[in-house]
Amino acid sequence: MSERPESSRIDKTTIVRPGSLIAILGGGQLGRMMAMAARTMGYRVRVMDPEPACPASFVVDETIVGRWDDIAAAQRLAEGADVVTLEIEQIGVDALSGVARIAPLRPGVEPIRIIQDKTLQKTWLAGNGFPVGPFRVVRGEAELHDAVRALGGRVFLKIGRGGYDGRGQARIGFDAPATDEALVEAWRSLGSRPAVAEQALELECEISVMAARSPGGEVRSFPAARNHHEKQILAWSVLPAGIPPQLETRAESLARAIVARLGLEGALCVEMFLTRQGDLFVNELAPRVHNSYHQSERGCVTSQFEQAMRAVCNLPLGDTSLISPAAIVNLLGELWLGGDPDFASALAVPGVKLHLYEKHTARMGRKMGHLSAIGASADEALERAQSAFARLKR
């Protein structure tokens, strides 16, 4: 496995030009949509994924099959690539380091090491002065007991590594008092592994801001999106978020500051809580394109997928202005369990488009696709998307 000279790996001025090979760690729906944007711009694309028939495999030049911690497969992905990026943050650090010895890796090893472990991520955010809600890192049952008492008795317990879409979380003190037995059960349900205990907040809404940073240091942010979750999975998202202008400015400034402080090269989604008291707290970071910005394909001058490709290729970042209010509604596997959804009926709603990921096995909670809609206002865009969603089930 050949390695590139050190100077070529760290040169922040080199542009990865169209016609070059972009490699993506992960071939799920995010990798698929990134690849489609890259192909539109004239790039060749290779992905690595545990599944040979992953969603991205149908639109790329080559698929390398390998687990997230498979160093050899990751290095095969990187061999001959002009730049490597990712669509999932759960790639093993050793595999990432192996990639970085062969080709430019963007976002970079250190930002991923911090972000992929919530205990490190939350501690890093607080230590760098970014606003976060009250929390404690817990590594044992005794620390969990102390944390729940210190945080007021109602907490979300989130596993440090591996949890997403509601997996790897436990709610404590919501439906019943946080007894010793309840704490032991919650701790053991997460595998008795290091976790973050977060104080439950009184929320006005949840928002996210997508930012991007090029190796040359250019940073741009998108308008904030408003997000709604059901069972800890994103149900719908809408642009713009409709928050007061001063909070919009604050949210975008936070996202730009975080991506710059991390030194991350590529896309970063900053999920935030807006409390009923008007406070803005950073919830979690995702070093990649994100479900809450799929509607940027419809509503923004530059989509998040194109922006991510521009960023990792060191091209000028695109205009993130909103050209139309837009919304998405996620399509989960349960829609298919009673038969095929009525796509024709959904597409009869004005302004609606269908996006399917070519996943051939539907499961409860599995993201199979989404509906997007535009409208004269955020409310109209969301109403159209939700109306189309309702028609799918008829």
Q: Are residues 29 and 160 in the same domain?
A: no
In this prediction, residues 11-18 reach a mean pLDDT of 87
Q: Are residues 181 and 219 in the same domain?
A: no
Q: Is residue 115 part of a domain?
A: no
Q: Is residue 24 part of a domain?
A: yes
Q: Is residue 319 part of a domain?
A: yes
The domain total for the chain is 3
Length of the chain: 394
pLDDT of 176 reads 77
Q: Are residues 361 and 277 in the same domain?
A: yes
Confidence label for 394 from pLDDT (cuts 50, 70 and 90): low
268-307 confidence digits (pLDDT tens)? 999 999 999 999 999 999 999 999 999 999 999 999 999 9
Q: What is the CATH number of the domain that holds 226?
A: 3.30.470.20
Q: How far apart are the C-alpha atoms of 227 and 212, rounded to whole Å?
A: 20
Print the domain residue range for 155: 134-199
Contacts of 384 (CB under 8 A, 6+ apart): 327, 349, 350, 351, 352, 373, 374, 375
pLDDT of 6 reads 40
Q: Are residues 10 and 75 in the same domain?
A: yes
pLDDT of 5 reads 44
Contacts of 176 (CB under 8 A, 6+ apart): 182
Q: Are residues 231 and 323 in the same domain?
A: yes
Q: Are residues 72 and 149 in the same domain?
A: no
140-188 confidence digits (pLDDT tens)? 999 999 999 999 989 999 999 876 666 788 889 887 788 888 888 888 9
Q: Which of 146, 174, 199 is the last residue of a domain?
A: 199
Q: Which of 105, 126, 153 is the last residue of a domain?
A: 105
Q: What is the CATH number of the domain that holds 170?
A: 3.30.1490.20
Q: Are residues 55 and 168 in the same domain?
A: no
90-145 confidence digits (pLDDT tens)? 999 999 999 999 999 999 999 999 999 999 999 999 999 999 999 999 999 999 99
Q: Which of 67, 89, 105 is the last residue of a domain?
A: 105
From 36-50, 115-129, 154-168, 212-226, the region with the lowest mean pLDDT: 154-168
Tokens of 350: 């004005």
* pTM of this prediction exceeds 0.85: yes
* Total Cβ atoms within 10 A of residue 36: 17
Q: Are residues 255 and 376 in the same domain?
A: yes
